[in-house]
């Protein structure tokens, strides 16, 4: 009997681990910029499953999702890069420190780092 209980608990734990891997997040009532031909959705929901966007629409629901109300908040696609060149010019310093050259502009669309010597 004791062995059956251990097996049952082990099986239960094993199958429950799949549930935790399929995490869902439902963001409701947000203003969503889609960057597609659909444009901006003024009040919409966004469902994320396993780190990927799976649905965008109105009145979405999911029985296992963590629900967050984002009324008055904005969701946008990856329009803001974590690394960008600001165009700040350091006057009278060595050329490698100047960030106003066109070779290093990325417009915030990539995160490639340029080498220091661009001559």
Give pLDDT tens digits for 1-10. Answer: 566 666 777 7
Q: Are residues 29 and 71 in the same domain?
A: yes
Tell me the mean pLDDT in the region 71-96.
Answer: 66
Is the torsion defined by CA of 97, 103, 109, 110 positive or negative?
negative
The pLDDT confidence band at residue 119, using thresholds 50, 70 and 90, is very low
The total number of structural domains in the chain stands at 2
Q: Are residues 34 and 63 in the same domain?
A: yes
Cα angle 70-49-41, degrees, rounded to a multiple of 5: 40
Residue 58 lies in a domain: yes
């Amino acid at each position: 009997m004791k062995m059956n209980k251990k097996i049952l608990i082990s099986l239960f734990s094993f199958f429950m681990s799949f549930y935790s891997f399929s995490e869902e997040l439902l963001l409701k009532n947000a203003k969503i910029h889609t960057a597609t031909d659909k444009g901006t959705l003024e009040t919409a929901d966004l469902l994320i499953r396993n780190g990927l966007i799976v649905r965008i629409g109105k009145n979405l629901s999911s029985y296992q999702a963590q629900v967050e109300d984002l009324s008055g908040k904005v969701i946008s696609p990856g329009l803001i890069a974590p690394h960008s060149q600001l165009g700040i010019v350091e006057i009278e310093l060595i050329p490698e420190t100047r960030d106003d050259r066109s070779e290093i502009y990325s417009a915030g669309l990539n995160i490639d780092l340029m080498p220091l010597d661009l001559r």
